[in-house]
């Protein structure tokens, strides 16, 4: 498991969930990880990595703050001699604020867009030139199935993730000839801090079996399942993939709303 031996890697949102799982897997495969998060739980992630024998350093970073992003990129370059891979995973949902089309505030929209969309752009702006200096590498961004169509998240969140999908397409074209690949992952329902309220409610009310009921796989996903996709897209195994949004949602987005029957409920001739 040495796909990333000696590679300098930044993972944002690394304090929990998908970011933590990804930072740990990158380190397990030899990556030199800068784990960034606005929360000091990122220190716990680094402790886990080091306990596993990996190399990691934590930094507190607001994903939508240009100064913080520049500091994070500088830390990777100064600590590991350059930068090879970025996983721009940090994001917020905006849940807890009015989220309807007419009752949401300008401030709540601006904050979601600042973190979820401006954040990945800032990492591209400051990080991609450093990756180019190394002869190429990869940038992976966390988008969402909510960025594909309505129904999977609040309006501001959905718009921000649609922006991320377009950002990776645009960036791939701007980086022609640099050997820097840029892709996005579109997770479906994944058990993370962002979905904790829904998972806690389902378990408390005996409705856990309903989580993921709209997916063909009949379950929600785990952070590690998204992390493994991030590692694939960042690796040489994905050397001919760029400008794409890879959906990892248990099949949720494979169908428009419909009433489905289970095979065992289908009448037999």
- Is residue 82 within 8 A of residue 136, CB to CB? The reply is no
Answer yes or no: is 259 within a domain: no
Measured from the Cβ of residue 208, the count of other Cβ atoms closer than 10 Å reads: 14
Read off the pLDDT of each residue in 178-190 and give the average, rounded to a whole number: 95
Q: How confident is the model at residue 151 (pLDDT cuts 50, 70, 90)?
A: confident
What's residue 60's pLDDT?
98
What's residue 207's pLDDT?
63
d(CA 200, CA 192) in angstroms, rounded, equals 11
Q: What is the mean pLDDT of the chain?
A: 90
Per-residue pLDDT reduced to its tens digit, 17-34? 999 999 999 999 999 999
Q: How confident is the model at residue 263 (pLDDT cuts 50, 70, 90)?
A: low
Answer yes or no: is 265 within a domain: no
Q: How confident is the model at residue 254 (pLDDT cuts 50, 70, 90)?
A: confident
Answer yes or no: is 262 within a domain: no
Q: How confident is the model at residue 200 (pLDDT cuts 50, 70, 90)?
A: low
**3-state DSSP of 104-149:** CCHHHHHHHHHHHHHHHHHHHHHHHHHHHHCCCEEEEEECCHHHCC
Answer yes or no: is 146 within a domain: yes
Q: How confident is the model at residue 260 (pLDDT cuts 50, 70, 90)?
A: low
Q: Which domain holds residue 188?
A: 8-250
Number of domains in the chain: 1
Read off the pLDDT of each residue in 248-259 and give the average, rounded to a whole number: 81
Give 218: exposed, middle or buried? Use CB within 10 Å, 0-12, 13-18, 19+.
middle
What's residue 217's pLDDT?
85
d(CA 170, CA 174) in angstroms, rounded, equals 6
Answer yes or no: is 266 within a domain: no
Read off the pLDDT of each residue in 192-200 and give the average, rounded to a whole number: 64
Answer yes or no: is 38 within a domain: yes
Q: Which residues pair with 9 in a beta bridge?
A: 33, 85
CATH number for the domain that contains residue 61: 3.40.50.720
Instruction: Give the three-class secondary structure for 11.
Output: strand
Strands of 85-88's sheet, edge to edge? 55-60, 32-37, 8-12, 85-88, 137-142, 180-187, 245-248
182 Cβ contact partners less than 8 Å away, ≥ 6 residues apart: 124, 138, 139, 140, 141, 168, 171, 172, 175, 242, 243
Per-residue pLDDT reduced to its tens digit, 35-62? 999 999 999 999 999 999 999 999 999 9
Answer yes or no: is 60 within a domain: yes
Per-residue pLDDT reduced to its tens digit, 95-105? 777 767 888 89
Answer yes or no: is 84 within a domain: yes
What's residue 107's pLDDT?
93
The angle at the Cα of 134, spanning 133 to 138, to the nearest 5 degrees, equals 105
Say whether pLDDT at 129 is over 60.
yes
Lowest mean pLDDT among 7-16, 69-78, 182-191, 235-244: 182-191
More confident residue, 67 or 264: 67
What residues are labeled active site?
A: 157
Q: How confident is the model at residue 216 (pLDDT cuts 50, 70, 90)?
A: confident
What's residue 131's pLDDT?
98
Percent with pLDDT over 70 in the chain: 87
């Amino acid at each position: 498991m040495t796909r990333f031996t000696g590679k300098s890697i930044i993972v944002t949102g690394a304090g929990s969930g998908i970011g933590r799982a990804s930072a740990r897997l990158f380190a397990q495969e030899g990556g030199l990880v800068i784990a960034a998060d606005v929360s000091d739980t990122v220190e716990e992630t680094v402790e886990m990595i080091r306990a596993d024998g990996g190399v990691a350093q934590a930094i507190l970073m607001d994903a939508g703050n240009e100064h913080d992003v520049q500091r994070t990129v500088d830390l990777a370059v100064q600590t590991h001699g350059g930068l090879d891979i970025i996983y721009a995973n940090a994001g917020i949902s905006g849940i807890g604020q009015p989220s309807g089309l007419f009752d949401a505030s300008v401030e709540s929209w601006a904050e979601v867009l600042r973190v979820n969309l401006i954040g990945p752009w800032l990492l591209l702006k400051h990080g991609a030139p450093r990756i180019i200096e190394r002869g190429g590498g990869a940038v992976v961004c966390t988008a969402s199935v909510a960025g594909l169509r309505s129904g999977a998240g609040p309006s501001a969140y959905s718009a921000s993730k649609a922006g991320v999908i377009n950002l990776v397409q645009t960036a791939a074209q701007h980086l022609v000839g640099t050997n820097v690949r840029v892709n996005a992952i579109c997770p479906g329902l994944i058990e993370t801090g962002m979905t904790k309220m829904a998972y806690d409610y389902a378990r408390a009310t005996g409705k856990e079996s309903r989580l993921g009921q709209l997916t063909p796989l009949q379950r929600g996903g785990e952070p590690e399942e998204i992390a493994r996709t991030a590692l694939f897209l960042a690796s040489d195994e994905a050397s001919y993939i760029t400008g794409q949004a890879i959906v990892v949602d248990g099949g949720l987005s494979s169908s428009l709303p419909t009433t489905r029957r289970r095979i065992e409920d289908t009448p037999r001739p």
